[in-house]
Amino acid sequence: MKPTPEQLANAADATIEDVIGPDLRVLFCGINPGLWSGATGHHFARPGNRFWPGLHRSGFTPRQLRPEEQQELLGLGLGITNVVARTTAKADELTAEEYRSGGQALAERVARWQPRALAVLGIGAYRTAFGRPKAVVGRQDEPLGGTEVWVLPNPSGLNAHYTLDGIAAEFRTLREAVDGR
């Protein structure tokens, strides 16, 4: 479904449901939903977002899922949430306080659901939300409770620092680490 301009405008400040449950291998955590996701109710829904192809190319999914198939992730031991729940046109509309309070809420979700790994998709969001200004992409030294924390590239089409192949490679490193246990 392609949202209309009116639907996109009305999606500002909306929230969408997490895809979350028990026994997750990985809980993927976006920065916050974009307007397209807010309008459709699906994570990483904007055409050009590289989450779904990256997930498939890394071996997490047997085929490339579409955003509207997001609930199928649960059967694969995968989930999706966000650091900040509020929908915006761009992540730069979020405040540092929203990131910090979002980090606290995320820590509570992780404590409740206890996934094997949390993958935060965006280094700037992780640094701000968890007060780790020197964090780098990859596995973090400090877990969140008993959950291993990884910081991976933001799959947004706006992130020019990583190609789709680069994103898939980082996702694959996570998958191999989680599944290697």
pLDDT tens per residue across span 2-44: 999 999 999 999 999 999 999 999 999 999 999 999 999 999 9
Q: State the DSSP code for 147.
A: B
Q: What is the pTM of this model?
A: 0.96
Tokens of 90: 């761009």
pLDDT tens figures, 136-168 = 999 999 999 899 999 999 998 777 789 999 999
What the chain holds in terms of domains, given with CATH numbers, is: 5-179 (3.40.470.10)
Q: How far apart are CA 12 and CA 3, in angstroms?
A: 13
Report helix, strand or coil for 152. Answer: strand
Query: Residue 76 is encoded by which pair of tokens?
Result: 């694969």
> Among 91, 95, 49, 43, which residue's Cα sits nearest to residue 68?
43
